[in-house]
Amino acid sequence: MIEILGFTGSFLDVCIRVSLVLLSLSFFLIVFRFVKGPSLPDRIVALDMLVAVGIGFIAAIGVQTDYFLYIDIAIALGLVGFLATVAFARFVRNRGLAGDKTIMNEVGESEARREAGL
């Protein structure tokens, strides 16, 4: 029984370390997408993904430290992230309806890329 508990503890440590490495890699890829993103909606999706990766970090650290209050913080961050995404989407929608030339040019370029199959 003691051997099984030792194995599960070390296996959990390895899993947490692997998850933190994967989350770090995804964090850097998302930041790259945020910086490179050609349009505002791309950047909004990247910000939403950054919130999701942040939730993953908080949850992994909470499991690693056995301090489960972090899970509550991750849930609150998820709610705030969802509301921020909805607010950004509404902003983009209203900005497009207002006839702003920059967003209309972006929409036209995006539609042209989609029609070209890019």
Give pLDDT tens digits for 98-118: 666 777 777 788 888 888 876
Distance CA 94, CA 11 (A): 50
DSSP 8-state symbol, 100: -
Give pLDDT tens digits for 47-90: 999 999 999 999 999 999 988 889 899 999 999 999 998 888 88
Distances (CA, A) of 1 to 4, 7, 9: 5, 10, 13
Q: How confident is the model at residue 41 (pLDDT cuts 50, 70, 90)?
A: confident
DSSP 8-state symbol, 35: H
